[in-house]
Amino acid sequence: MFNKKDNTRNEFMLTGSFRKQGYDWWWHSFTAINEKTGEEKPFFIEFFVCNPAFGGKEPVFGQLPESKKNNVKPSYLMVKAGCWGKDHMQLHRFFGWDDVKIHGKAPYSVEAADCFSSDTKLSGSIKLSEEESKKHPEYMCDFGEIEWNLTIDKQVAYNVGYGASKLFRTIKAFEMYWHAEGMKSLYSGTITCNGEKYIVTPEQSFGYADKNWGRGFTSPWVWLSSCNMTSRITGKKLENSVFDIGGGKPKIYFVPLNRKLLGAFWYEGKGYEFNFSKFWTMPKTKFDCKETDTEIVWHVKQETGKAVMITDITCKKEDMLWVNYEAPDGTKRHNRLWNGGNGCGRIQLFEKNGKEQKLIDDIDVKNIGCEYGEYDR
């Protein structure tokens, strides 16, 4: 069963060869309510660490011209925070490794100045002026102010199985690993964004928390997840449900596996998994992601010998941003990695009995975290 918590997979993973070419990040996304207007707004917060072997007093940026010329690899803690919507923004704050405190073993924690991340708490702030943002393109971000103080209750996990097991982590077989300790998470607290205060409550946070680590990034890059679901059949909210889809083109020992996704649906306490690595379940996946003039569109069909899940999602481009990372080798390959937090769509879930299919539910989904991007290799 994939809903198996394992906070050892949330540990700091930059050991061995990953110390010199590796990244590790802890991602959080959730919805908050404007204290004055009642407006709903989605936010994200991430702690991203890179190449500790080259760290020191100051952060090292791979996008500086002299770094590119001399093949200097990036090395820092990057705290990323921002929001989605028409006034979307992405802010970065960087720390040299000398200023970072990491408790690497479970339960993990990362701390620098007032920024703190763990399995249960999240706090920090970023402030960047327009002048600073323009002066430092290596920061790869916008300008503005954001501050947060939150607690996290991770309720449902997506444990992808042996692909991220201790053995495969030790031998570093994969280019990119994934674990969602809190694919359904309840957030509570406050967040202040450009002077506006927002309240975060467990019931309306529709929260998500996962992590990725490795030596490089997949292309294509696909991610979809939400726990805000309503049955079209009964009209009722699905209070104990969440889905999560991720992947694109995983690599094992630098050998690509073309167009593979990992997917899980926790439907009212019952698990349906579509995992390409679990071959005995006879998994099949077809997916198509595309841009229109105004939207990003995802169509995913996942199937095993026992179930079928059809997922159709859209997100308005005006509500999304291009999320920015530089790879541990110093390159920035993804320059159009669309990232959003208020996608919407439909999921159809079927159970199979031989060639017969029975519709379990037809579901409207909102507050979807979503990503799509590809680069030329």
Sign of CA dihedral 365, 182, 14, 67: positive
Rounded Cα distance between 61 and 69, Å, is: 12
CB neighbours of residue 232 within 10 Å: 12
Rounded Cα distance between 89 and 128, Å, is: 12
Q: Are 324 and 136 in contact (CB under 8 A)?
A: no
pLDDT per residue as tens digits for the range 305-324: 999 999 999 999 999 999 99
Q: What is the pTM of this model?
A: 0.96
pLDDT per residue as tens digits for the range 91-117: 999 999 999 999 999 999 999 999 999
Percent of the chain with pLDDT over 70: 96
Rounded Cα distance between 170 and 122, Å, is: 28
Q: Residue 139: is its pLDDT beyond 70?
A: yes
pLDDT per residue as tens digits for the range 196-255: 999 999 999 999 999 999 999 999 999 999 999 999 999 999 999 999 999 987 776 666
Q: What is the pLDDT of residue 163?
A: 56
Q: Residue 182: is its pLDDT beyond 80?
A: yes
Q: What is the pLDDT of residue 249?
A: 78
Q: Residue 167: is its pLDDT beyond 60?
A: no
The domain segmentation of the chain, as residue ranges, is: 7-373
Stretch 49-73: mean pLDDT, rounded?
Answer: 96
The first and second tokens of residue 226, run together, are 């939400």
Rounded Cα distance between 238 and 183, Å, is: 15
The CATH architecture one would assign to domain 7-373 is Beta Barrel (2.40)
- Where does the chain have alpha helices with state H? 65-69, 130-135, 166-171, 202-205
